[in-house]
Chains A and B, each alone.
Chain A
Amino acid sequence: MTPLLEFRNVTKIYTKGLLSRAATTALDNVSLKIEDDQPTILTVAGESGSGKTTLAMLLLGFITPTRGQILYKGKDITKLRGEEKITFRREVQAVFQDPFAVFNPFYTVDHLLTVPIDKFKLARSKSEARDKMEEALRAVGLRPEDVLGRFPHQLSGGQRQRINVARALLLKPRLLVADEPVSMVDASLRATILESLRNLNREYGISIIYITHDLTTAYHVANSIIVLYRGSVMEAGSIDRVIREPQHPYTRLLIDSIPWPDINRKWGQTEIAAREQEHGSIETGCKFTSRCPFAMERCRQAPPPLYQVAPQQVAACYLYEQQPIVERERLSEMLPA
């Protein structure tokens, strides 16, 4: 069966100007599949500069890969035209980080919902459009009478972000890319937004790619996780395995630095090795070497392949070289739906 979405050895390199040799590999040879018949929530995690937003931009077709292909239902998304392109645009939706920036302050919030209805001809009449809007708002836990007809500044960040989710839902997407959807929302409202995302997945069968640096919320909504560090996959697998039994030294550092709201679970068991001063230099080995407490000579020479450390967990680290190697193309087989 053709997967809904497929990354085939995708690499994205940003270059500075025409003459400069300095190039940054934002995403390095990533392969990934989202199956059509098993709606899942996949977390892509990493710190700033890890390539997680690049991955979202590639997936939405805003930028094109330097190498490799991105396929949607088996077709290269850069080659989609006409009807197919419109379908892709409708079926792949996004919710972005800043719930304040996406609204036009001169329009009421209805505008954000009526534009997609018009563009994609979702309703034949005004009343049908109204019904659709109300249905989508209710699905994310908002009362239509509370928000329709209001201006963005009259709503809280949490309400606005839920309207964004409702807008995406309106288009009956197959895939939703949520790029840090709760990082700018009050902690007390995060739970509500994450819950509506999860309902989208369960009740409407929408697959979600949840992009975040917040492993706490990832743990709560996702089925599986990919941990990126400077464009490369460090560790991936079932979210329970990776959060509870992280194997890669980088993931261990990340998870040890989560400030759990639990006074009996202190952070900071792992020492933080100094952050490297420069980014973007050409490196041959594992990108985490300079910060890794276990770095060996061979780590500098060639990047480690993915080793299978558990049935649903892989780590790109020579510490596990006794374990079987997993081809990068088979990464998705390690991710439970």
Chain B
Amino acid sequence: MTNPSPVLRVIDLQVSYYTEAGRALALDRVSLELYPGEKLGMVGESGCGKSTMALAMMRMIKPPGRIEGGKVFVGDTELTALSEAQMRRARLSLISYIPQGAMNSLNPVLRIEAQMRDAIREHQPEMSKAEIQERIYQALESVELRRNVARMYPHELSGGMKQRVCIAIGILLSPKVIIADEPTSALDVVTQRQVMETLDRVQKQLGAAVILIGHDMGLMAQFVDKVAVMYAGKFTEISSVRDMFTNPLHPYARALIESLPTLENKGVFKGIPGLAPSLIRRPPGCAFHPRCAHAMEICKTVTPALERLPGERLVACHLYDREGNLTNAALRMAG
């Protein structure tokens, strides 16, 4: 068996927003690799940089934000080196983005098929009318919508159906990477499950990699293979979904998992004390140290690097050495 090469490589991506209050470092040299068919969940509190990362990968950061460094590859194509016109063609055909509340981004005065046709024409002007129509029907059918939905206007569809139309638009040109930003946050549980099942099936058909952004850990447990926890513009831990839910290593990841309501721990509320830090005045060292129950002296000054630990886990925490064991300092603190 040959090792497949990663379909997505993000290397040292950095994004800042320049505000009146100062420079906010929203994404601090973040790296990520994703293989075909992989589903990654990206979680973190609001303002931790998860949507910024998605927008940066799409090169859709708008002023006062700026991509200040780093590279993004999809397959062999370096997105960060493309011209603006080339990038426009890469969107949707190499990498597609289903934004938060996508269903409200449909144009209310155009039929669904007109909106889908626009997307195809922009990328493949040589395609014939009949081919375009066929592609639209295929995309709708792959998200379990009937063909007659093509002739409808957005207001004729329910929230779940609109969200599925957005997924259909996202996969029109068979992208290699699909980024879905909280695709179900406004939907009720049954519709949510239906939309996620759709996304799952479509992803398998295309063999694409999916990044699911959100803060619903339940959804992550049900859907993804790997979970990346982000805090103040950096990854704190990237582990398989099983490791993350059964044995999270980073104290922030652990606090997140423990704050979750499950069937077993009824009536136990364990919130995470403190507030997410301001990105303009990031705490020195590890950004989580003011809220961390295990903070040591070193955490206040030295930023921990994201280290590869055994079991293909990536963790940025001074508590662990490279073998994934607690360091002597951590053990001393635990007493």
Contact = CB atoms under 8 A, between A and B. Distances in A.
A263 B261 CA distance: 13
Contact of A261 (B193, B218, B267, B268): B218
A220 B265 CA distance: 8
Interface residues of A, number: 41
Interface in A20-65: 47-48
Interface string B243-263: 001100000000111011111
A188 B272 contact: yes
A192 B269 contact: yes
B154 to A, nearest CB: 15
Contacts, number: 118
Contacts of A195: 269, 271
A261 B216 CA distance: 8
B76 interface: no
A260 B221 contact: yes
Contact of A254 (B190, B262, B271): B190
Interface string B301-314: 00000000000000
A116 interface: no
Interface string B170-189: 00000000000000000011
Interface residues of B, number: 44
A220 B261 contact: yes
A46 to B, nearest CB: 8
Nearest to B223: A259
A188 B188 contact: no
B332 interface: no
A275 B158 contact: yes
Interface stretch (A266-274, A301-309, A316-324): A266-274
B259 A258 contact: no
Contacts of A254: 189-190
Given A157-B46, A187-B259, A188-B256, A257 B266 contact: no
Contacts of A267: 193, 222
A157 B218 CA distance: 21
A220 B246 contact: no
Interface of B: 45-46, 158-161, 188-194, 197, 215-223, 241-242, 245-246, 255-257, 259-263, 266-272, 275-276
26 contacts: A47-B189, A48-B159, A156-B276, A187-B215, A187-B256, A188-B215, A188-B272, A190-B271, A191-B261, A215-B189, A217-B261, A221-B267, A253-B190, A254-B189, A258-B189, A259-B189, A259-B218, A259-B219, A259-B223, A261-B221, A261-B245, A263-B241, A263-B242, A268-B197, A272-B190, A272-B194
